[in-house]
Structure 1
Amino acid sequence: MARISTARTVDTDFWEGRLKQARAFQQAGENLVALANPGDNLSPAISNIVLAAIAYADAITAKHRQLVNTQDHGAAPRLLRDTLGNTLPGSQESRLRKLLSLKDSAQYGARPATLSQAQQQLADLQEFALWAEQQL
């Protein structure tokens, strides 16, 4: 069976815009976590954290292959692996998969995310972002 691609071709400077978006989403997530009180619903913070991770992955794949993932965000780690090969650390691939797994519950779920959950996801994003910036 043929593998259906969920990637699209982008211009050579597209990665710079996605990097700016990644940083903005990360900053928004950091701000929401910093201003939160125990008992607050931190799903919006986690949503921004996940969107930042997606944008960082897009920036890397756009810079190296002029491709970005579309529609199925769960396929983003596969495109990142296809782009970087064995230079993609397993820990970063796992971190990205974990963050992406939170997208639906953060954006469409009914249960609020806690401050401690948001702090943990933010720590994961910060590790991923630090690594991603080094790839760019």
Structure 2
Amino acid sequence: MTETQQQSEAKTLGGKRGGGDPASRGRTTIADGVVEKIAGLAARDVVGVYAMGSGFARTLGAVRERVPGGGRTAPATRGVKAEVGEVQTALDLGIVVDYGVSITDVARSVRENVVAAVERMTGLEVVEVNIAVSDVKLPDEEDEEEEKEPRLQ
């Protein structure tokens, strides 16, 4: 067989294998928790966001974190709920903002950051990002999430 015949045969065989673009073979599914993690981390990056979740959710999360094996991913997804379809996703976020910041500016920045991160990393279209501001962190308030010294020794 000549070199030209070998190249021709290789092209013919290559054309018959699998058919089409390799990137289109099979399906990719993305779990709700993956999108929730991405959105939670993107929201926390915004200046003016003090914490994620309502006061109750943060308290429950802090308790879960203290239980062995109970809260390894809790901080990343706390305050975020995602509904993921095949090509689109919708997100609900609960945030606590720092006192003195413009809530509308923080909400706009959170939406922009979350949409950019989720769409870039997952390829899903983000159809909506609903934000519920549940509290304002005052400068003189103690940090709920900080480790407090034990009362008994």
Larger Rg: 2
Q: Whose relative contact order is higher, 1 or 2, with alpha carbons under 8 Å and at least 6 apart? A: 1
- TM-score, scaled to structure 1: 0.29
More strand by share: 2
The structure richer in helix per residue is: 1
TM-score, reference length from structure 2: 0.27
